[in-house]
Amino acid sequence: MSTRKLTTLIVDDEPLARERLLALLSTENDIEVLGQCRDGEEAVSAIHERHPDLVLLDVEMPRMDGFEVIDTIGPERMPMVIFVTAYDQHAIKAFQVRALDYLLKPFDRDRFSDALQRARTQIESQTNGDLGKRLLALMKDLRRDAPKTDRLVVKSGGRLFFLRADEIDWIEAAGNYVRLHVGNQSHLLRETMNAIEARLDPERFFRIHRCRIVNVERIQEMQPWLNGEYSVVLRTGVRLTLSRGYREKLQDKLKV
């Protein structure tokens, strides 16, 4: 087994829970605790900056829960995760089916050691290659009817800041990124158009072109354009071409 220590991040909004996890980890010679996070926003920043091998991730936290942390980081870029949860046994089945480990509060030292050993084994044998797929499937299982994300994390100039989804005017594809237009500013986010569309509230955001999504509350008018096409004019004055295939759907949505 490698002598390199397993770098670990603790994420829980309860101080006593963080202290207990830290105490349990302190007895493990091969663990290096990189830090403790009090909420999802701190967790996102810490994961981006410190790249831990393992995250002990509380599921239920205010403002940004554990699944929103995964949404923001991207399931394919998440480190190995041990979920710390108070979910009931019915919901726990989803973790078991997806072969993702969890600690059901309250848990004892033996259960903690067992979960930690499983994480070590997967990391050492590099069998976590499909972790992203399993995390995606788990979130679909547990959050099928949950509201869409209302915030995005944007990296700019080495800094991370949080952008409310309802501040976005429109979005366009930019290679392997999407460009978020907010007033007279724009921000690049490493996402595909399909991925960002799936994360946003469909009642607010609408695809008008394969490369463009608009916030329908920012639409001022629709105007005839070239060759029978229409354009969408936003309140900022920006004019965007509306593809024919999306025109009727948008008119239905706007009831025009």
Per-residue pLDDT of the chain (256 residues), as tens digits, is 456 789 999 999 999 999 999 999 999 999 999 999 999 889 999 999 999 999 999 988 877 788 878 878 888 888 999 989 886 665 676 676 566 788 888 899 999 999 999 888 888 776 555 777 778 777 766 655 455 678 888 877 778 888 899 999 999 988 778 999 999 999 998 877 877 887 888 889 998 988 899 999 999 998 887 776 789 999 999 999 888 777 777 877 776 5
Domain at 151-254: CATH architecture: Beta Barrel (2.40)
Question: Among 136, 140, 85, 77, which residue's Cα sits nearest to residue 107?
Answer: 85
Sketch the domain layout of the chain as residue ranges.
6-142, 151-254
Please determine whether the domains at 6-142 and 151-254 fall in the same fold group of CATH: no
Overall pTM > 0.85: no
CATH superfamily assigned to domain 6-142 = Response regulator (3.40.50.2300)
C-alpha to C-alpha distances, 199 to 5, 174, 179, nearest whole angstrom: 35, 18, 15
Distance, C-alpha 27 to centroid of its chain: 32
Contact call for residues 29 and 104 (beta carbons, < 8 A)? no
